[in-house]
Every structure is written in structure tokens, then in C-alpha cells.
Amino acid sequence: MKILLVLPLIALSALVQAFPENRTFEERSPVFHYRDDRDGRALAEIHVRRVERDGEPTVEIVISAEGANIDPVAGYPGVRGANRHTAEAFEHMLSGRFPVRVETRRAGGETFVGSIRAGRRGTIAERVVGPDGQLEPAAGTPREYPLELVVDTHARGSGSFQTDVLLHGATRLRVGYRILGNQLEILAISGFGDARHHPRNGEAALLAAQQVKDEGDDKQKEEEEKPLPPPVTDADWDARDLEGKWALFSKSKADFIAWRQYLDKRKDFAFLEWIALYSPHQSEQLAAGWTLARNNAPQWTRVAVWLREAYPFAHGEAESYQLLVKHNPAYAHAYLDKHREVVAKKDGPLRQDLEEFRKKNVAKVNVDKALPPFEHAEVFRHLDAPKDLAEFGNATRADSGKVYVHQVTRAVKAVVTSGRHEEPWIGKVRLLTRHRHLDVRQSAYLAFTYFAPDLEAKTALLDQFLDVAEDKSEPPAIRDAALLAYSYFNHPQVFLKLHHLAGKTDNAIWRAVVSRLGDVGHDFTHQHLSQIPRDKLGDADRELLLGVLDNLARRMKERDKGLGQPGVRAWLETAAWAEHVDDPLKKALRANALEVMPRWLNAEERKAVEDMQQKYTPAFPAPDEQIYRQRVRDLAREILATRPKGG
């Protein structure tokens, strides 16, 4: 069973976190982790606490985007311990962009209407490319986000209660509890997926969803009617072509809402389309798509189709679905029916959307004014970069005879955000890791921090990235980027290599290594890093090491009952791999696995280890695969037979 985050940007199926027994708390519950059912990542943590309101006990539910065991956003920016996308979801809910309703029922029929509010706010630690081109391990986001969403149940009195948090009229979070005087007893916590998959009360839910959506739209319109100062003068904007506009937009520090308002007022649909394609920020892409849709611009359907394919499962899925399928169903149905080439994938979201239109007999209208779907080769055309690239600088218009550095790096980032992590685009990005321009090479290597988890971890590719990371003749910025790319591949040799490199404190890539160990490490990592002498480290390096050790210690202390299935599998594979290749860390890794895993495996994870014992097969190349496979199975058997020590 996988525990689910209940947030509007993630389409998940309904699962329940089951507790072996009821628990009683005073002010604050233990940490409950919610996991994406697609990949098992912990995206938020939840607490349920008793508070006093007007002298009466009531309950607050606190959902947090920050916590020791929360997995970060994908790619190199993400630092374990917080998830920016979760915080962005809170922001949308608090602004009314995603309408929310809180309902609490007491056993016996009494109903209370609750509310949501922001809890703590702050920046989120993320890696960024610094002014010198090197990676800053935990520089933080440039602005603050709501880190907590507080659900006020407004329940009063004693007894048994059930609180539902509804989004678009459908339950996304359900908490059952009992208030007995000063005590709070948690009965169950359940997470539900997207509203269209789990309607609450059939047709009534659809009507409620529409009513709540309308209320949210009205609130959003009220906020949008508060104009912000224009981010640019009309004269400056009109003097620029699309590339000149992009250069100005990319460097601007103005709030994106100001840009969206300005572009909406100017009806600059062409540039809004560029934002939907090329902005590295999902929220900006979707906001640009909505602005085009509300203007019925010729671009809106092809942008909606592009974003629907970009976010078929994870963050943004629900909103991309609303944009394409719910905004103007008759128009979208006709568009998909006319352009069958975009629904070619049998299991793709567009094929499912078209089938939904057909099942509901959605009428079709004329779409002759709509622009045809994007050609991928055109969107990504600058991946085929010439050797010589120009700098755009402070120009306002592009020279038709030149290809600019930012055009190539923009195309690389567009492949990342588009979700089209497939050939030929990945191959083209890989070629760019050998380009002569440093910014292009760095951008290409960093793109692999997004691609790597889904690619086969072939030894040749791993060695290529590692060789560059360890090449002292390479610029530090390239070495950092190559090391990060290497570190995201799912192969046990990566875990081992990072631990060996951590001991080389004079290595130029040491900070990147230690930072990544803070993401992927566990109890063994804490034990290993604790042995690094700190007296010879500079202040910044010592601070980084101590911060990682502190985070690892909190992760170990605050972990809920269980290690997480992906972590369990990787832990076993790494310990067995160390023995398989006779790595110097093999004894310490084995001892650590046998000491920690038997104590913390929950029932579901124990079942996963049992499955590995019986039928494990590696998902990556391994020399003498049959022998390695047996090593993993034998270690799994030994862990299952080991009696837990302590706890």
C-alpha cells in the first residue's frame, strides 16, 4: 500500500493509511507521510492536533510541505526535506484558484463547516546555479511560499468526528478522530485521488463541484481585477521581436502576475504561447495556457494539448486536464477529433480525453481558427546547435543569421519541462554535453538529472559522466553538473561512489557530493559522513556537512514506521552490490542493513523483501547477473530471519 498526498496538482487513486491500533495524543500527532502512488515519493507530512477555541476543544489538521523525510521536486534543484510543488499547491488553494471546502460530521449527524489558512511561510532550500556558474547546494528559492496548510475543522464538543477536505466538490483528505476531554484519538487517515476518478455522490458531486468551481472563479476574477504596475513600457515592448521580448522577460524581477496581466491586456498571444512552451516554471506555463484559453486565442488548444502531454501523471495533471477537457469541451473535442495524430498513444492522456468526450457525447464545434498542433522538431529545433554560438546581450532583435546561446539552453530546458524524455531528444541533449560552449554543456548535463531516473543505467553512460566529474582539467561548473547527472541514475554503484568521493574533502566536487548524499543517504550515510575530519574544513564546507548530518539524523529520528519501498529495494541492492564487486564498504553496508532494516520494516515493506527473496531480478546491467541476483535474494532472506535489535 502506498500512502498518498492529497493535493490538487496530483491525480492519484484512493488509498488508506491503515494504523494497527488507535493512538492518543495531547497536542501534536506523530508524523504521517503521504506518498505518490506512482513512485512512492513522500510529498508532504500531516499532523493532527488538539487546540482550544473559545474555551472548547477542537482539531486542526496541518499539512506541511517541509519535513525531514519529504522528497523534493525532480531534478537538480530539489533538496530533500521540502517540496516546492507542494507549497505551490498550497498557494493555489489559499488564493482560491483551487476551491476548497472543509466539512466535519460528528457521529449523530451534526455538521461543521471548516476553513483553511496559511501556516508557516518561508523559502525552500534548492540548488541553484550561482553567478560563477557553480552549483550552490542549498541557496533557497528567491521568494517565500506557504510551507503549511492549516485546516481548521471548527468541530466542537466531544465525540467521534470525520473531517473531509474537498477540492472541486470531491473529498481529497478524510481524517477520522475522537475528542475525549483533553485527549485526541486518531482513528484513520485516508487520501483520495482526482475528483473525476472518485466522485463523492455521483451527479450531486458534479453539481457541487461546479458550484464550488464557480465560487473559486469569482474569487480569482476579483483578485485579477487588482492591476499591478506594468513590468515594461509599451514602447520598449513594441521595439522587440520575440527573442528580444524573451531576453527581457527572462531577466525581469517583476511578479509574473504583472506580466500575465500586461500580456493579457496587450493580447500578446504569441508571447504567451512562448511562456507556455519555454518557461521553466510549471505554474507560469499553466497560467499562460489559461490566459490564452479565456481569450479564445487561436493558440489555446494546441497549448492545452502540449501541457496535457507534459503533465499526464504528476504535478499539474489535474489543472492540465481542467484546461483541455473542462474549459470548452465542445471545442477541445472537435480539435482532438480533427488532429488524430496527437492521440496516437494508446495509453496516453489525450487518447483517454478523446474517449471521455465520445462516451459523454460531447458536441463538436468548428475549430478552423485554431492553430494546428506543435511539431516537436520545431519547438526543439535549437537542440541541433552549430559549433559557434552568439551572445544576445542587450539586443532587442535577433539577427536571422545567428544562433544564440540562450536559444540552445532554452530548448534543453523545454525538453525537460515538456515531459518528452525520449529519443531523439535525449540523444540530442547528450550530444550537447560535448559542445564547446560552457553554458550549453552545463545545461545539457543538468538536464540528465531529470532524465536519469527513467533511463537504463548503462555502465558506459555512467562512466562518461563520472569521468567528466573527476577530470581536473574540466571547469568546476561542468564537473559539478556532470557529478549531479551521474548521481541521479538508479544504480547501486552510484551510491557507493558518492560515499567514496565524500572522503576526498579537497576535491572540487566535494560539496556537490555531500549535498546529494543528503538527498539519497540513510543511516549508513550518517555513520559514514560522521567519520570525516572537520578540523581541516573551511567554514562553508563544515556548515554544509553539519547541515547534512543534522538532516539525516532528523530523518532517522522522525521516520514513521517503515522505510519506504523504493528505499528498501535500493538499500538491499547496494549492500549486495558492494559484496558483488568486493567494495571496501561491503562489511559496513551489510552490518548496517542487518541492524536497521529488520527493526523498521513495516508489513508492506516486509512483503516487498519477501518478494525480492523469491523473485528478484535487477533492473540495471550487472556482471555475472545470476550471481548478483542470488546475492540480493540471500541478503533479503537473512534480513527477514534477523531478530530486530532494540526499537
Residue 106 phi, psi (nearest 5): -90, 145
Q: Is 218 helix (H, G, I), strand (E, B) or coil?
A: helix
* CB contact at 8 A, 58 and 153: yes
CA–CA gap between residue 420 and residue 451 (Å, rounded):
10
Q: Is 149 helix (H, G, I), strand (E, B) or coil?
A: strand
Residue 439 phi, psi (nearest 5): -65, -35
> Would you give the DSSP letter of residue 66?
B
**Residue 221: per-residue pLDDT:** 46
Encoded amino acid at 169, one letter: G
Contacts of 463 (CB under 8 A, 6+ apart): none
| pLDDT tens by residue, 205-215 | 333 434 444 44
**Residue 208: per-residue pLDDT:** 40
CA–CA gap between residue 525 and residue 602 (Å, rounded):
22
| Mean pLDDT across 473-483 | 96
| Mean pLDDT across 307-312 | 86
* CB contact at 8 A, 440 and 385: yes
What's the pTM?
A: 0.88
> Would you give the DSSP letter of residue 643?
P
Residue 199 in this model has a pLDDT that exceeds 50: no
E strand or H helix at 609, and its extent? helix 603-615
**Residue 131: per-residue pLDDT:** 82
Cell of 164: 473531509
* CB contact at 8 A, 610 and 639: no
**Residue 211: per-residue pLDDT:** 42
CA-wise closest residue to 541 among 509, 500, 498, 519 = 509
CA–CA gap between residue 631 and residue 572 (Å, rounded):
10
Residue 342 burial class via C-beta count within 10 angstroms: exposed 0-12, middle 13-18, buried 19 and up: buried
Q: Is 217 helix (H, G, I), strand (E, B) or coil?
A: helix
> Would you give the DSSP letter of residue 126?
B
| pLDDT tens by residue, 226-274 | 889 999 999 999 999 999 999 999 999 888 999 999 999 999 999 999 9
CB atoms within 10 A of CB 472: 8
Instruction: Give Dmax over CA atoms of the chain in angstroms.
Output: 77
* β-sheet bridge partners, residue 111: 105
* CB contact at 8 A, 484 and 466: no
Position 97 confidence tier, pLDDT thresholds 50, 70, 90? confident
The C-alpha torsion from 407 through 411 and 417 to 421, rounded to 10°, is -170
Cell of 222: 476579483
CA-wise closest residue to 597 among 572, 618, 631, 632 = 572
CA-wise closest residue to 370 among 316, 297, 427 = 297
**Residue 561: per-residue pLDDT:** 58
* CB contact at 8 A, 647 and 607: no
Residue 304 in this model has a pLDDT that exceeds 90: yes
CA–CA gap between residue 424 and residue 403 (Å, rounded):
21
Query: CA angle at residue 311 from 306 to 312, to 5 degrees?
Result: 100
**Residue 7: per-residue pLDDT:** 34
| pLDDT tens by residue, 527-581 | 999 999 999 899 999 999 999 999 999 888 877 656 766 688 999 999 999 999 9
Work out the angle between the directed axes of helices 269-278 and 405-418 (0-180°, nearest 10): 70
CA–CA gap between residue 150 and residue 101 (Å, rounded):
13
* CB contact at 8 A, 599 and 593: no
Position 182 confidence tier, pLDDT thresholds 50, 70, 90? confident
Position 452 confidence tier, pLDDT thresholds 50, 70, 90? very high
CA-wise closest residue to 390 among 372, 408, 374, 368 = 408
* CB contact at 8 A, 255 and 91: no
* CB contact at 8 A, 522 and 548: no
Residue 26 in this model has a pLDDT that exceeds 50: no
Contacts of 21 (CB under 8 A, 6+ apart): none
* CB contact at 8 A, 140 and 123: yes
